[in-house]
Structure 1
Amino acid sequence: MMDHAHDLASVRDATERLLVAVGTLDNAAVTESSRLPGWSRGHVLAHLARNADALVNVLEGRPMYASAEVRDTDIERDAPRPLDVHLADLRESGTRFQETGAAPADWSRTVALRNGVTDTASRVPFRRWIEVELHHVDLGIGYELADLSAEFTERETEFLAARFAGHPDVPATRLTDGTHTWHTGRTADAPEVTVTGPPAHLLGWLAGRPAGTNAVTAEGGPLPTLPPL
C-alpha cells in the first residue's frame, strides 16, 4: 500500500537535495547540455518546475497539461532563464505541490495523468519523487544512479518492471540484482531473457539511462530494447 505522507516527505528531501546541488552552478552551466538528448540543464530544470504544477493539477482534478504542445512550449520558454529564476521556480512550485499534498483528500481516488493513464492519488507523490530523483541524475552535476537510496531504487525498479509487463514489444525478461528478482515483458515467451546487474544499473536500464544499459548483462538472448517512458 502506498504511504503518500512518507512519499511527500521523500519528495521534500529530494527537492532540497536538488536545490542545494543546482545552487552551486552558474548561469553558463545551466545552458550546457544535460544527459538527456536535445535538452540543456535549463530544459531539465524547467520541466521539473512545470511537472510539479502539472501534478498539482492532477491532484486538484484538472488536466495534467493543457496539451502536449503547451507542455513543450513552456519548457522551451523557461529553459534559458538565469539560475536564480530557475531556483526560485523550483522552490515555489515544489512548495505548491507539498501544500496540495498536505490538504485533506481521498487518497484512494483515481486520478488522470497524461495520454490516458490513470492511477490512484496515493501514487502521485511517488511519481513526483521519481521525477526529482532521476532528473537530478540527468543534470550530470555529480548525483549518480548509485547515489539513489536503496528504498527508491527497489521501488522504482518494481514500478518500471510492472509498467513493461505484458508489453508486446518486450520479450519475457527476468531481472535480478542477486538478491531481488522482477519479471517483465511478454508472459507467453519461454525461456526468459535474464538481465543481471547492480540495483542502480538495473534501474538505469529500465529508465532508459545509458549508464544503466552499459552496466547490465543479458543471458538467454540480447539485452531487450525497452520502449521510451
Structure 2
Amino acid sequence: MIDHAHDLACVRDATERLLTAVAKLDNASLAEPSRLPGWTRGHVLAHLARNADALVNVLEGRPMYPSGEAREADIERGAPRPIDVQLADLRESAARFQAAGDAPADWSRTVELRNGVTDSAARVPFRRWVEVELHHVDLGIGYELEDLPAEFLERETGFLAQRFTGHPDVAPTRITDGTRAWLTGREADEPEVVISGTPADLVGWLAGRRDGSGLTAEGTLPTLPPL
C-alpha cells in the first residue's frame, strides 16, 4: 500500500536538502555543466521547478505539460536565471506541490502523466521524490547516489525494475542487492542474467546514471532503453 502522506514528507525533506545545497552556489556555478548531457545546473533547477508545477497539474486533473515543446522552452528560458531567482522559484513551486498534496483527494484515482502514461494518484509524491533526489545528484555538487536514503534506494530499484518488466529488448533479469531481489525484462521461466551490487550502483544503472561497471553480472549486462 502506497502511503502518499509519508512520501510527501520525504519530498519535503529532500527538497530542504536540495535548497540548502543550492543556496551555497553562485551564478557562475549555475552556468557550469551538470551531469546531464547538454544541461547546465541552471537547466536542472529550472526543470525541477517546472516539474513541481507539472505534478500539481496532474493532481488537479490538468495536462501535465501543454506540450513537449512548451516543456523544453520553459526549461531553456529558466536555465540562465540568477541564483536568487532560481532558489525562489524552487521554493515556491515546491510549496505549491506540497499544498496540492495536502489537499483532500481521492488518492486511489488514476491520473495521467506525460506521453499517455497513467498511474495511481498516490504514487505521484514518490515520483516527485525521485525527481528531487536524482536531480540533486545530477547537479554534481557533492550529493551522490550513496547519500540517498536507504528507503529511497530500495523503492526506486523496485520502481525501475517494474518499469522495464515485460520490455522486449531487456533480457529476463534478476536484480539483487544481497538482501532483496527483483525481476525485470522479458517474461521467462528463469532469468538469463543475474545482477548484484550495492543499492546505489543498482539505482545508478537502472536510472541511467552509471554504466553498470560496479555491478556483478552472471551473464551479459543488458543495455537498458532510455527512461
With the shorter chain as reference, the TM-score category is over 0.9
Query: Number of paired residues?
Result: 227
Aligned-partner SS, 1:7? helix
Q: Which runs of 5+ in 1 are unaligned?
A: none
Determine the C-alpha separation between the residues in 1 that align with 2:98 and 2:193: 41
* Shift >2 Å, 4+ stretches: 188-191
Determine the C-alpha separation between the residues in 2 that align with 1:93 and 1:116: 24
Q: Show the counterpart of 1:213.
A: 212
Residues 79-105 of structure 1: per-residue CA shift (max 9 Å, x gap): 011011100000000000000111100
Give the superposition deviation at 1:177: 1.1
Q: Show the counterpart of 2:223.
A: 225
Matched, 1:184 2:190: no
Q: Show the counterpart of 1:111.
A: 111
Aligned-partner SS, 1:119? strand
Q: TM-score, normalised by structure 2?
A: 0.98
Determine the C-alpha separation between the residues in 2 that align with 1:151 and 1:139: 22
Q: Show the counterpart of 1:195.
A: 195
Determine the C-alpha separation between the residues in 2 that align with 1:180 and 1:59: 32
Alignment of 1:87-166 (within 5 A): 87-166=87-166
Q: Is the 8 A contact 1:50 1:93 kept in 2?
A: yes
Q: TM-score, normalised by structure 1?
A: 0.97
Residues 178-199 of structure 1: per-residue CA shift (max 9 Å, x gap): 1111110001375421111111
Give the superposition deviation at 1:56: 0.1
Determine the C-alpha separation between the residues in 2 that align with 1:20 and 1:197: 30
Paired residue type of 2:218: E
Aligned-partner SS, 1:115? helix
Residues 86-132 of structure 1: per-residue CA shift (max 9 Å, x gap): 00000000000000111100000100000110001000000000000
Give the superposition deviation at 1:214: 2.8
Determine the C-alpha separation between the residues in 2 that align with 1:59 and 1:158: 23
Alignment of 1:11-90 (within 5 A): 11-90=11-90
Q: Is the 8 A contact 1:171 1:189 kept in 2?
A: no
Paired residue type of 1:226: L
Q: CA RMSD in A?
A: 1.0
Paired residue type of 2:137: V
Q: Is the 8 A contact 2:174 2:191 kept in 1?
A: no
Determine the C-alpha separation between the residues in 2 that align with 1:214 and 1:45: 29
Paired residue type of 1:50: R
Aligned-partner SS, 1:169? coil
Aligned-partner SS, 2:119? strand
Paired residue type of 1:175: I
